[in-house]
Structure 1
Amino acid sequence: MSAPHRLDRGHTDDLMTFLAASPTPYHAVANAAERLEKAGFRQVSETDAWDAETAGASASGSGGKYVLRGGAIIAWYVPEGAAPHTPYRIVGAHTDSPNLRVKPLPDTGAHGWRQVAVEIYGGPLMNSWLDRDLGLAGRLTLRDGSTRLVNVDRPLLRVPQLAIHLDRAVSAEGLKLDKQRHLQPIWGLGNDVRDGDLIAFLEEESGLGAGEVTGWDLMTHSVEAPAYLGRDKELVAGPRMDNLLSVHAGVAALTAVAGGSKLPYIPVLAAFDHEENGSQSDTGADGPLLGGILERSVFARGGSYEDRARAFAGTVCLSSDTGHAVHPNYAERHDPTHHPRVNGGPILKVNVNNRYATDGSGRAVWAAACEKAGVPFQSFVSNNSMPCGTTIGPITAARHGIKTVDIGVAILSMHSVRELCGADDPHLLANALVAFLEG
């Protein structure tokens, strides 16, 4: 008989809290770390020498461990009796979302308006950023080399749309936005634009002294809170579901299984940055972060290269990312026989050209986890006439030589400043991930 769901609609309530508190990848991993700490996990440093205690494999070092690097987090739990060659079960996700990010010289303006110079990150639906009340958040690097998170979570900036009276063709011909000219937000008035104004403002907001900030990674976000939507509150509207929905589910699943003494695998959460622009960074899935940490865990527990090879050969990763629910107004854009619906359970993503990493044996692993959890799942393929997106799945499989399966939750308005999912799908995904990590 299938196991009952371990997580319910309360998980979705908590997801909305997580989304609101995580306007940037740096905030997302900080919030994930806080939840892991409450579950008994402890941070380890990459610059320290690792031994069995550091890796979580000794009595004094028991409990989960995690590594933070920028906007990425890798967390794992070594169950009692795990051998150096014990395989891993990995939930992979990403922390970044398309948005507008502040340039190195942020202070600009024209015609009596003060503006912030921004660059386009990833592939946002640019029109969704117009006429939104935007906050500003990110990471400040101080003169002493330390970092400080900042979050101005109130209406601070706005990208004003051109009035229809000045663009009569917009309704017939569609909105055309120039990324350089039309997306620079305003944040005040004045003809005297001074270099350093924005950073000085953020230093004051953060309680820092003038000139303390020497580096920054800043991005805009909508300050509108996530909310249930619909007659029966069957839907959730909110920001950054792609892909903090999966990060949140992965944290919930890992903390749910941690403490199990008879787990046949070592459960892992790997949440990377920079998926939206190719994953090629020291915190991206195409970098060495995951492989290095898993290898160090093997060696710190007394293993050899042979043990590392055996562990990786038996490892399976679920690459969890959002996918496309069938759109009622554009059904012809979808494959005619694959129409994932919200609240129909998580989706299995398939692409025979390896834009997704799923194959038949991977499907069997996913089907077994869903059956164990009592969770329904759906299948997704793209319309053959349209190019297919991709994920960290193929990158993870190719870089580390581990079996990877692409899954996720079906949503609408992907890459919008405000996306839409079913209210039940987040906890259905989390329960399936619990069953997968338990083996």
Structure 2
Amino acid sequence: MSEPPRFDRGHTDDLMSFLAASPSPYHAVANAAERLEKAGFRQVAETDAWDGTSGGKYVLRGGAIVAWYVPEGAAPHTPFRIVGAHTDSPNLRVKPQPDLGAHGWRQVAVEIYGGPLLNSWLDRDLGLAGRVTLRDGSSRLVNVDRPLLRVPQLAIHLDRSVSAEGLKLDKQRHLQPVWGLGGEVRDGDLIAFLEETAGLAAGEITGWDLMTHPVEAPAYLGRDKELLAGPRMDNLLSVHAGTAALAAVAGSGAALPYIPVLAAFDHEENGSQSDTGADGPLLGGVLERSVFARGGAYEDKARAFAATVCLSSDTGHAVHPNYAERHDPTHHPRVNGGPILKVNVNNRYATDGSGRAVWAAACERAEVPFQSFVSNNSMPCGTTIGPITAARHGIKTVDIGVAILSMHSARELCGADDPWLLANSLVAFLEG
């Protein structure tokens, strides 16, 4: 394998800004949309009639975005090239009745979202962000991006067994953060605080989708700053790379044989079964309406889908220096070694031999090295939106991504070269 080219610090710097500005899926899609708007894309409403004009368009729904670029003269049966990703990350989310407390402490009631490494959320300064719905039915993004909450760990003096038996956390009792002091718990206190912070009138917020986030900024790490540490890289790293790749392809002026698409879904971390998840109707509906808006019929849709390819881009596991035995002995993906191709013969990943060939061609064209990942046979294998996308829409799907450490931690770690290498390979894939 050849040595990867020196990475573009500007791309990685921009990724760090994207991560910091996207503490929730709702913020992530808003930031992706802003970048696409600057590249000439325009938002279309699902409730409006769509036209078949060329150019870049996108749909926003909750924490999901689907964007596509129609080349001039594209036929109704023109196939799609899709980069799929997800916007959500494991975290602690606010319950419907958020105010609680005990023994003079004021706390916020949270529910565990996805499969976070729970210990990574202890003793960490946390902010609060998400979407609130107002009395008039409109929605608004909120972000308290300062140390507001903390899940305090029990001192070792009060639990000597932790050294011998390891840390054991009860998800209901031990993960409720503190955010102040006070005797009586006042119902509505947290939401009243958010209304005041956001400049809203009292009682204006009637619904909320709120979550905690670590407020420590992303940072380069290591002797030569060859590593990147930050939150939510699973999977905003892929959302950022896909957004950058789609904008680059749309602005290249090249003749495109495919319609390039970015599909960033919500709720992957808990099964993708929602109206904004990969197992929902969003992507299929957008692609179908694009075909019909260009004068196509069912036969055109069938032809387009039959020749469509999706790259399911999600983070994967780099070989861990302290736990190398947990990895397959012949597959040790390394950070800064280029993106990984994920394979699992039991279809936890959607890659097959023909999909590998598509990916290899894109990487060769981009002059980007890639690595292969398979799980140790003795370890259970995770999954992605890849198999869901393939099965739901009947389109060829290939699972790829960037190798990281500390997956599902409040703060993850990747190679600083790899985000740029991934973005370049996605450009080559979308260009066909």
- State the TM-score, normalizing by the size of structure 2: 0.98
Cα distance per residue 1:111-148 (max 9 Å; x no partner): 00000000000000000000000000000000010000
Cα distance per residue 1:307-343 (max 9 Å; x no partner): 0000000000000000000000000000000000000
Deviation at 1:4, TM superposition (A): 11
Aligned partner of 1:435 in structure 2 is 428
Superposition misfits of 4+ residues, deviation over 3 angstroms: 1-7
Deviation at 1:3, TM superposition (A): 15
How far apart are the structure 1 equivalents of 2:207 and 2:87?
21
User: Residue 7 of structure 2 contacts residue 417 of structure 2 at CA under 8 Å; is this kept in 1?
Assistant: no
How far apart are the structure 1 equivalents of 2:3 and 2:246?
17
In structure 2, relative to structure 1, the CA distance for the partners of 1:167 and 1:70 (3 Å cut) is: same
How far apart are the structure 1 equivalents of 2:302 and 2:123?
53
Cα distance per residue 1:241-272 (max 9 Å; x no partner): 00000000000000000043510000000000
Deviation at 1:61, TM superposition (A): 4.4
In structure 2, relative to structure 1, the CA distance for the partners of 1:430 and 1:137 (3 Å cut) is: same
User: Residue 316 of structure 1 contacts residue 402 of structure 1 at CA under 8 Å; is this kept in 2?
Assistant: yes
User: Residue 7 of structure 1 contacts residue 431 of structure 1 at CA under 8 Å; is this kept in 2?
Assistant: no
Cα distance per residue 1:139-174 (max 9 Å; x no partner): 000001000000000000000000000000101110
Secondary structure at 2:32's aligned position in 1?
A: helix
The gaps in structure 1 that reach 5 residues or longer are 52-59
In structure 2, relative to structure 1, the CA distance for the partners of 1:386 and 1:316 (3 Å cut) is: same
How far apart are the structure 2 equivalents of 1:73 and 1:34?
12
User: Residue 7 of structure 1 contacts residue 430 of structure 1 at CA under 8 Å; is this kept in 2?
Assistant: no
Deviation at 1:431, TM superposition (A): 0.1
Match of 1:112 among 101, 104, 111: 104
Aligned partner of 1:96 in structure 2 is 88
Deviation at 1:7, TM superposition (A): 7.5
Match of 1:303 among 275, 282, 296: 296
User: Residue 316 of structure 2 contacts residue 401 of structure 2 at CA under 8 Å; is this kept in 1?
Assistant: yes
User: Residue 99 of structure 2 contacts residue 190 of structure 2 at CA under 8 Å; is this kept in 1?
Assistant: yes
How far apart are the structure 2 equivalents of 1:4 and 1:170?
43
The gaps in structure 2 that reach 5 residues or longer are none
Deviation at 1:220, TM superposition (A): 0.1
User: Residue 61 of structure 2 contacts residue 276 of structure 2 at CA under 8 Å; is this kept in 1?
Assistant: yes
How far apart are the structure 1 equivalents of 2:293 and 2:278?
23
User: Residue 27 of structure 1 contacts residue 138 of structure 1 at CA under 8 Å; is this kept in 2?
Assistant: yes
User: Residue 90 of structure 1 contacts residue 268 of structure 1 at CA under 8 Å; is this kept in 2?
Assistant: yes
Correspondences of 1:14-413 after superposition (within 5 Å): 14-51=14-51, 61-259=53-251, 260-413=253-406
User: Residue 80 of structure 1 contacts residue 261 of structure 1 at CA under 8 Å; is this kept in 2?
Assistant: no
In structure 2, relative to structure 1, the CA distance for the partners of 1:417 and 1:327 (3 Å cut) is: same
Deviation at 1:62, TM superposition (A): 3.7
User: Residue 53 of structure 2 contacts residue 70 of structure 2 at CA under 8 Å; is this kept in 1?
Assistant: no
Secondary structure at 1:205's aligned position in 2?
A: helix
In structure 2, relative to structure 1, the CA distance for the partners of 1:230 and 1:2 (3 Å cut) is: closer
**Root mean square deviation of aligned Cα:** 1.7
Q: Percent sequence identity over matched residues? A: 91
How far apart are the structure 1 equivalents of 2:45 and 2:186?
40
User: Residue 4 of structure 2 contacts residue 337 of structure 2 at CA under 8 Å; is this kept in 1?
Assistant: no
Deviation at 1:6, TM superposition (A): 11
Aligned length: 431
How far apart are the structure 1 equivalents of 2:254 and 2:58?
19
Cα distance per residue 1:277-329 (max 9 Å; x no partner): 00000000000000000000000110010000000000000000000000000
Cα distance per residue 1:58-104 (max 9 Å; x no partner): xx944200000000000000011110000000000000000000000
How far apart are the structure 2 equivalents of 1:278 and 1:94?
11
How far apart are the structure 2 equivalents of 1:361 and 1:195?
57
Cα distance per residue 1:198-227 (max 9 Å; x no partner): 000001111100000000000000000000
In structure 2, relative to structure 1, the CA distance for the partners of 1:61 and 1:311 (3 Å cut) is: closer
